[in-house]
A and B are shown apart, each in its own frame.
Chain A
């Protein structure tokens, strides 16, 4: 499995990097190979090094020609006005590539989702998922993708939670959340409070760990299994 030696994920997208939050990103994978970004960076910075002698030049991010990509813009709509009036700074409304999303404070999640469903007719919960940013203090983004049949409109609601932090289940708002939350639990280990039956869905009950976390390595698990069950060293 050559892909397992992939370098630790580079800078996560909207990662504010708190100074104290340096967790080992890939405890599971064999970090023997040189990380890719580190391997390419010195190559570009190499000619500069002799000139700058002893100075502690940080490798310059040499990306001059590349045009700046699209950036999230503030999203203005009556819905956003209403929500900001009610919640103030706990909520940020942005639009990226024409898709609207709300960055919501963790404590406001149940209220905001309830309002979106009841008052703004987001009656169809398309998907619930999560993204893991191991370097961030609050490691997980939980994402709800909602759709309104009445307005033919989509919105994504995002919040950040820390590892081990619980989040209220929305299965009482949208019945479809039942399995979707189970999958998030299965893959990320995020607990949903008030879920009728939070257990693994795709993986067997006895499975260890949560595979879609970035620090989850299959190699480690494989070696362990081979050692326990076959009594030999794994060749992986």
Chain B
């Protein structure tokens, strides 16, 4: 029989742990082709067993040079391109771009156009959040919400299709207003949709909010503090879930948002569960805004006076809107010609993705999937 004390020294856990772990830091490559990365994102994980010690994102697989393309297009011609960045919230992209150019031209869209813009943008926010919820839940292992959300999102896409002929890359707005007047029965359709979707959101919540597995997988996962959010430039629902009550629709209202009553939902803990709750609450707020906009939509023209050949005066402008993912900004420099001298897009997904490293440190590998989902990135926008 060996002396127990010697065997302890032989199996000194602390000592062996140190050497064992030092020698076995594992580099795991996730993506670029991975179903849970929502596109083509490559994440290089540094693992200590199951624990994430750090990670690096490799992006750019969908880079199409949108900013360079803009320099070779006229202001009008570039408009459809912006839809291809965040392709699940194309309407928001278009709104930001059109308003930025309008600012540069020093014109304003007529009130009716602004209302139409708000209705479509909020519908799009809802669609974007629904898509986020479905895929995020699917990543974590709940398959049912995907079918529910896609079923209901279809109704929004139908309204888009009836309005402008396209479902995803809508190109709904023009510089100076809207191209299309609302179709016959548009308001009825929207109201019908509002009545239809309100109970559906409760249904999603029923599936998840108190679901034990969902709560276990999301509570205290990917926590980020308000301070870190601000330092990292993180905006949108992620920032709000960390407790910062900041929404560009309120802080610096654009379109017709000043005229509507709505609240900015915030969270407390800044974890994945809070971000889920914030987005759920945002969907309800969107419904409120749409309801008010449909009820109060004014009559009148939908297009401001814009010359066919647009030549904004020499100068530059930065304009940003609250896209479903966060602050979407356009910095446009005009040299007085028909083509922008430079268009810079400040994409929310790109900036938010930078927080992934911080949010995943110390978490498990499985949580990385949850955190990517909760950041709600669209790689088309990250890479542009």
Contacts and interface: CB of A to CB of B under 8 A. Distances in A.
A73 B34 CA distance: 52
B315 A96 contact: yes
A154 B346 CA distance: 15
Contacts of A178: 354
A126 B329 contact: yes
A127 B60 CA distance: 18
Contacts of B252: 152
B104 A97 contact: yes
B351 interface: yes
Contacts of B73: 3
B345 to A, nearest CB: 9
Interface residues of B, number: 48
A13 B316 contact: yes
Nearest to A124: B230
B67 A212 contact: yes
A176 B231 contact: yes
Interface of A: 3-4, 6, 9-14, 37, 69-70, 72, 96-97, 99, 123-127, 129, 131-132, 143, 145, 149, 152, 154, 156, 174-176, 178-180, 187, 200-204, 211-212, 214
B246 interface: yes
B230 A126 contact: no
A177 B197 CA distance: 40
A3 B81 CA distance: 15
A129 B343 CA distance: 10
Given A3-B73, A204-B60, A175 B335 contact: no
Contacts of A211: 65, 68
B317 interface: yes
Nearest to A197: B56
Contacts of A13: 314-316, 333-336, 341
A176 B351 contact: yes
Given A127-B331, A202-B384, 7 more contacts: A4-B72, A11-B335, A69-B314, A70-B315, A124-B233, A179-B354, A204-B60
Nearest to B327: A126
A126 B320 contact: yes
A207 B139 CA distance: 34
B232 interface: yes
A14 B67 CA distance: 21
Contacts of B104: 97
